[in-house]
Structure 1
Amino acid sequence: MSTIEVKNLSVDFQTPKQTISAVKNVSFKVEAGEIFGIVGLSGAGKSTLVRTLNLLQQPTEGQILIDGKEITGLKGAELRKVRQKIGMIFQHFNLIENRTIFQNIEFSLKASGYPKEKRQERIDELLSLVDLRDKKDAYPNNLSGGQKQRVGIARALANNPEILLCDEATSALDVETTEEILKILEKINREMGLTIIFITHELEVAKRLFHRMAVMENGLIVELGNTFDIFANPQKEITRKLVGRFFNLAIPEEMTPTLANGKLLELRYQGGHTLDPLISEVSKTYDVFISIIHGKIEYIRNDMIGILLVYVTGSESQLEQAVQKLEQNVYSLRDLRQ
């Protein structure tokens, strides 16, 4: 298992007319055996950042340390040695089309000088891990997208890396196939102890897989923390937008006039209180009517977040007491009209 530390990292691209800053003074640390995610919209700088971690992209400034050793100045044999510790999975698979699946994986083993007499056994082991032993003589064009990505995982693991970089590894896949890939990555992390860094714009992947995550915008890391905390209480505007789109609890504008006489509230629950019958209790205790407009419960790894949009009507005094009671028993309450 390996730790990764990034200190004040920047990446600039020079064009004839200007300097483009793709990554700006970024710092973060990934613990050994952690699944760490980097999330952001297209153009945020995610792919550029992840490609610096094995020096496929040379940083303009800053440091990258693996197990405390700086790698940014390494070249030649020293750099190749470090790269053998780092596997990489790509969005579009990057398989060699005119070679069989066996030969695609063997290519990685050859490049690293893996003993010829042990390659057959190693390739069989890798294909068993991703459940593709029966496809070793097939060509990439004969495989589905999910199968190609499983080959990509097997190839990335060929030389027993300690770190696995995933560059939008599920973006080209459907929902069911994405779930298969995430299960394989969880298994690899759990059983092999690999440190995984995964970049994506898909919050469904983030909430399902990441232990911790960073949110990028315009080359900067704007928010960093535990995945559950970021989903439950996003601090920055871009994070609130991403999480809001994920929960997708917007009310159609045409409904607004029908909700003119009461309170329109967003209630957020988290942890063990998510399933408490709060709405029933409040409506029985106070002379108010509570209509549930929209609701959703999401599981962020093993914890729950619940969001309800409710419309509450009643006399002013009863309404005020009911809202106070609700606020005391949820993680957060927001009046959507204020």
Structure 2
Amino acid sequence: MAKISVEHVSVDFKQKKGSFKAVSDVSFAVEQGEIYGIVGLSGAGKSTLVRTLNLLQAPSAGSIKIDEQEITQLKGQDLRDLRQKIGMIFQHFNLIQNRTIAQNLAFSLKAGNYPAEKQKERIDELLRLVDLQEKKNDYPSSLSGGQKQRIGIARALANQPEILLCDEATSALDVETTEEILQLLQRINQDLGITIVFITHELDVGKRLFDRMGVMEAGTLIEEGSTYQIFSAPQQLVTRRFVSRNLSLSIPQEVKEHLTDGRLLELRYQGEHTLDPLISDMVQKWPISISIIHAKIEYIQQKAIGILCIYLTGEEEAMQQAQDEIKKHVYQLRTVEKGA
């Protein structure tokens, strides 16, 4: 059973000269305990879409179900009860600056009607969870960006939600701090079984965190699949561009200019064949030489994707035979233009 089910959801914003469709006929499902990501460039409609999941943004059309309950028409207490099940983490933390960290967490607990006599214990528990016990009486201004986001996560978890929505939760952080936040979210997902929906424009975040993901462009979900599927075999142009920027190898023109007598090839592997001894096999089989110019292997969901740039030299017929044989054993082979 899907924890979240979105069917044909659209969001229209009225403007002076008509209306603007920020989200257009989007459908997807998120399973219980899954980390599901939505990736897209700025303006793709990601934030608008994720805010429909707790009705911070009302959809103009379509159905949204949580635990098979239709939520789009909820109001009053029913809507408040729904939001108790859904925590949200924001890009810019949204902490109350003139309150201590403990008071920030207490504010969320009070808003969620958490029993007053248990709030102190819960605050201590949340701070242990994000490893910031010593910051309890500090103010947000004294914290680093990563520490602020940890408090943002603690606040989102205050009332024991079942779903966590992350709206660009790492885009204001540096690379090292981003990694720490991703590891924390993975631990929360695994230890607490919380379903996470994470939106980002950073595909590298998806590679490390998501179980499955969708790609948005101009308000539409254009592609969806496991994270490995998206990286290993992207179908849409936008997705291929995203993946290419993340996995591509760039050979300096100065290097290409020295490679004048042979063939410069880029090979892409995936799955179980990534680590096969292909190069040594080809050299033994054909009277050619192969130089490895550049190589990269990424592991996504414990499966490998490899990119290898090689330079073949030898007799023309032998090079062609070797290239034809190599092509049978890789996912993709292309000739790199030396003048490009």
Establish whether TM, by shorter chain, passes 0.5: yes
1:166-219, Cα deviation, whole Å (9 max, x unpaired): 001010111111111111111111011110000111121111010000011111
Counterpart in the other structure of 1:136: 136
d(CA) in 1 for partners of 2:293, 2:265: 10
TM-score by structure 2 length? 0.95
Query: Aligned partners of 2:227 and 2:4: how far apart in 1?
Result: 18
Q: Could you tell me whether the CA contact under 8 Å between 1:23 and 1:220 is conserved in 2? A: yes
For 2:64 and 2:311, the matched residues in 1 are separated by 51
Residue 27 of structure 1 corresponds to 27
Q: Say if 2:2 and 2:29, in contact at 8 Å, map to a contact too.
A: no
Q: Which amino acid aligns with 1:297?
A: I
Q: Distance in 1 between matches of 2:259 and 2:53?
A: 52
- Is the CA contact (8 Å cut-off) linking 1:2 and 1:163 kept in structure 2? no
Contact between 1:2 and 1:162, CA under 8 Å: does it hold in 2? no
In structure 1, what is the Cα distance between the partners aligned to 2:265 and 2:76?
60
Please name the residue that 1:302 is paired with.
302
Range 70-79 or range 301-310, more displaced: 301-310
- Say yes or no: does 1:291 pair with 2:291: yes
Cα deviation, residue 260, structure 1: 5.1
Question: Residue 129 of structure 1: CA displacement?
Answer: 0.3
Q: Deviations over 1:218-267 (max 9, x none)?
A: 11111100101110111111111001101131334555554454333221
- Alignment correspondent of 2:95: 95
Residue 71 in structure 1 maps to residue 32 in structure 2: no
What is the CA–CA distance in structure 2 between the aligned matches of 1:329 and 1:131, rounded to whole Å?
48
Tell me how far apart the structure 2 counterparts of residues 26 and 328 of structure 1 sit (CA, whole Å): 38
- Residue of structure 1 equivalent to 2:231: 231
> Separation in 1 of the partners of 2:94 and 2:15?
27
Kept in 2, the 8 Å contact 1:209–1:301? The answer is: no
Q: Whole-Å Cα distance in 1 between the matches of residues 90 and 23 of structure 2?
A: 20
Q: Counterparts of 2:17 and 2:290 in 1: how far apart (Å)? A: 60
The answer to whether the 8 Å contact 1:265/1:336 transfers is yes
Q: CA deviation at 1:316?
A: 2.6
Asked if the contact 1:44–1:217 (Cα under 8 Å) also holds between the matched residues in 2, the reply is yes
Q: Which residue of 1 aligns with 2:212?
A: 212
Q: How many Å separate the matches in 2 of 1:174 and 1:246?
A: 17
What is the match of residue 82 of structure 1? 82
Which residue of 1 is the match for residue 193 of structure 2? 193
Greater CA deviation, 290-299 or 153-162? 290-299
The letter of the residue matching 1:246 is N
SS of equivalent residue, structure 1 residue 21: strand
Q: Give a deviation string over 1:5-60, Cα, whole Å, max 9, x none.
A: 10001111111123211111000000000000001111111111111110111111
1:166 matches 2:166: yes
Aligned residue number for residue 39 of structure 1: 39
**d(CA) in 2 for partners of 1:220 and 1:254?**
41
Write the mapping of 1:142-157 to structure 2, written as runs, cut at 5 A. 142-157=142-157
Equivalent in the alignment of 1:7: 7
Which moved further from structure 2: 246-255 or 9-18?
246-255
Please tell me whether the aligned partners of residues 186 and 209 of structure 1 are also in contact (alpha carbons under 8 angstroms): yes
Equivalences, count: 338
Q: Distance in 2 between matches of 1:264 and 1:123?
A: 60
- On the 8 A contact 1:2/1:33 being kept in 2, the answer is no
Contact 1:223 1:236 in 2 (8 A): yes
Contact 1:168–1:199 (CA under 8 A) maintained in structure 2: yes
Residues 120-131 of structure 1 aligned to structure 2 (within 5 Å)? 120-131=120-131
- Local SS of the residue matching 2:56: coil
- Name the stretch that deviates more: 127-136 or 263-272: 263-272
Compare 287-296 and 121-130 and name the one that shifted more: 287-296
The one-letter code matched in structure 2 to 1:222 is I
Q: State the match for 1:278 in structure 2.
A: 278
Amino acid at match of 1:178: T
Q: How far off its partner does 1:2 sit?
A: 6.8
For residue 96 of structure 1, what is the amino acid of its counterpart? I
Q: Report the more deviating stretch, 21-30 or 316-325.
A: 316-325
TM-score after normalising by structure 1? 0.96
Percent identical residues:
64
Distance 1:16 1:253 in 2: 51
Query: Residues 288 and 60 (structure 1 numbering): CA distance in 2 closer, same or farther, change over 3 Å?
Result: same
Task: Give the 3-state SS of the residue equivalent to 2:274 in structure 1.
Answer: helix
